[in-house]
Homo-oligomer: A and B are copies of this chain.
């Protein structure tokens, strides 16, 4: 029709090639959402389970996600640096991934919260960030895992002081102001007999999702082809060990040289 010229106002938003696109989604107003739906404090296994379920679905659908990391109300999806998903169109990638995540979260709600009806529709924001090197990408993931640790330690002590220590939220906040990690560990241990390091890794480390390599799963090797199975781990991804154990995730130069100039 004669109105079609309006399509020209759409802007091209192709992501720079050979950078790793990261899509981070984060629950919108989950402070209120978790309150309204009675999330357990500081961590609710149902909520974490549902987040992981939704993220797993996203990874199964979008095969170019090489690793995902989640904690609290957020999830980060790392796409392969060579991905050609939606021709690397940023809005397409962003909107489709956020939308599918959201839909799965809502769709699977009752499996994880069988006794808590959804009171209103939950939603998530999202953004795409480009990381040009393996090192910076790892620093990104370390940033999120360090954030998990900091928040979780704080929340753990805070809610111990409130729920078991009988402090008001305000008093707990005042007591924690200015304490460092050591101080918080100390309170936990001396006052509540809790050794923070013995808490579930799920809470302390968050969740890593990655593809099970074919070779991991069956002896009759079909090489290194990624299978459809998604592995869920609660490991440290800040230190080198994880990355040494899974070099295929961010495999880079080797493959690069092989496929060179072909992308």
**A residues lining the B interface (CB < 8 Å):** 1-12, 14, 16-19, 25, 28, 57, 91-92, 94-96, 98-108, 118, 120-133, 135-136, 139-140, 142-143, 146-147, 150, 253, 256, 260-263
Expressed in whole angstroms, the minimum distance between the Cβ of A34 and any Cβ of chain B is: 16
Please state if B94 and A94 are interface contacts (CB–CB under 8 Å): yes
Q: For A92, list chain B residues within 8 Å (CB).
A: 125, 127
Please state if B3 and A261 are interface contacts (CB–CB under 8 Å): yes
A-B pairs with lowest CB-CB distance, top 6: A132-B132, A3-B143, A95-B126, A103-B121, A12-B12, A99-B123
Closest B residue to A119 by beta carbon equals: B107
Please state if A18 and B136 are interface contacts (CB–CB under 8 Å): yes
Please state if A28 and B121 are interface contacts (CB–CB under 8 Å): no
In the bound complex, how far is the Cα of B11 from the Cα of A14, in angstroms? 7
A99-B102 CB under 8 A given contacts A18-B133, A132-B19: yes
Closest B residue to A120 by beta carbon equals: B107
Contact residue among B10, B14, B124, B133 (Cβ-Cβ distance under 8 Å from A129):
B10
A129-B9 CB under 8 A given contacts A3-B139, A3-B140, A121-B57: yes
In the bound complex, how far is the Cα of B139 from the Cα of A6, in angstroms? 7
In the bound complex, how far is the Cα of B139 from the Cα of A262, in angstroms? 12
Q: For A121, list chain B residues within 8 Å (CB).
A: 57, 100, 103-104, 106-108
Contact residue among B99, B120, B139, B143 (Cβ-Cβ distance under 8 Å from A28):
B99
Please state if A12 and B14 are interface contacts (CB–CB under 8 Å): yes
In the bound complex, how far is the Cα of B94 from the Cα of A98, in angstroms? 10
Q: For A102, list chain B residues within 8 Å (CB).
A: 99-100, 102-103, 106, 123
Closest B residue to A88 by beta carbon equals: B8
Expressed in whole angstroms, the minimum distance between the Cβ of A83 and any Cβ of chain B is: 14
